[in-house]
Amino acid sequence: MPLRTRRLIAPVTAMAALVALSGCKSTGELVVDDGVGITAVRSTCPAVGMADYTGDMTLFGPAGASDARAIDVTAAITDLRGTCDPKATPVESKVSFRVVARRTDGRGERTLVLPYFVTVVRGGNVVIAKRLGQATLHFAEGQTRTEAVGSGSAVIDKGEATLDREVRDRLLKKRKAGEADAAIDPLTDPTVRAAINKATFEVLVGFQLTPEQLNYNATR
């Protein structure tokens, strides 16, 4: 399934869905049936997405120019997909995507090599691995649009991505309606949240931008 920029979807089943006690049984939600509990915790597979402000790259004609009239080439990472087997040891996440580029001047043949990265982030903000790749784009004479395919992979220790049994038991514990702890969300416990963060990994993809390119993306 394609994934949105930085707002990560699968393959992790989110903890954030703990919003209702309505009897629904969607993965990761609290439910009221015979008791209260979280139906499923999460996968050992990392979520996959694009790092903030790195999904696009803009190249300008004259060096140092940064206004729309000087745009030479624009490129975007799209159709980002991730595959992973949560039962594998170690856990390997593979990503693939397309790089779509457009140029303003279609005269002549032209080849561009755009750098990108695949990085592993733990706990939302700690980078533990990073790999660089290149997408080679070729424009034929008169062609203003082209695309290339990019890919990457990340290997994660399964033990590091697995919640401690004590934390899992707390999250999955069935609590009958009316009991003292039935309405207490275990995720309000800082110890539980810290354990979840420690075991949560993300694979983020993006263009390897210069500081100027990153600032352009963040402020345009």
Give the span between the Cα atoms of 205 and 69, in whole angstroms.
Answer: 29
Q: Determine, yes or no, domain membership for 173.
A: no
Q: Determine, yes or no, domain membership for 171.
A: no
Range of the domain at 82: 48-160+201-219
Q: Determine, yes or no, domain membership for 28.
A: no
Q: Determine, yes or no, domain membership for 138.
A: yes
pLDDT value of position 21: 23
pLDDT value of position 178: 61
Q: At what angle do helices 165-172 and 190-198 cross, to 10 degrees?
A: 120
Give strand ranges (E) for 158-219. 201-207
Domain tally for the chain? Answer: 1
Give the span between the Cα atoms of 44 and 54, in whole angstroms.
Answer: 26
Q: Determine, yes or no, domain membership for 97.
A: yes
Mean pLDDT, the chain cut into blocks of 10 residues (220 residues total): 42 28 35 45 86 96 80 97 93 97 96 97 94 97 98 94 83 68 70 88 97 93
Q: Determine, yes or no, domain membership for 60.
A: yes
Q: Determine, yes or no, domain membership for 19.
A: no
Strand pairing partners for 78?
Answer: 98
Give the span between the Cα atoms of 214 and 29, in whole angstroms.
Answer: 37
pLDDT value of position 128: 94
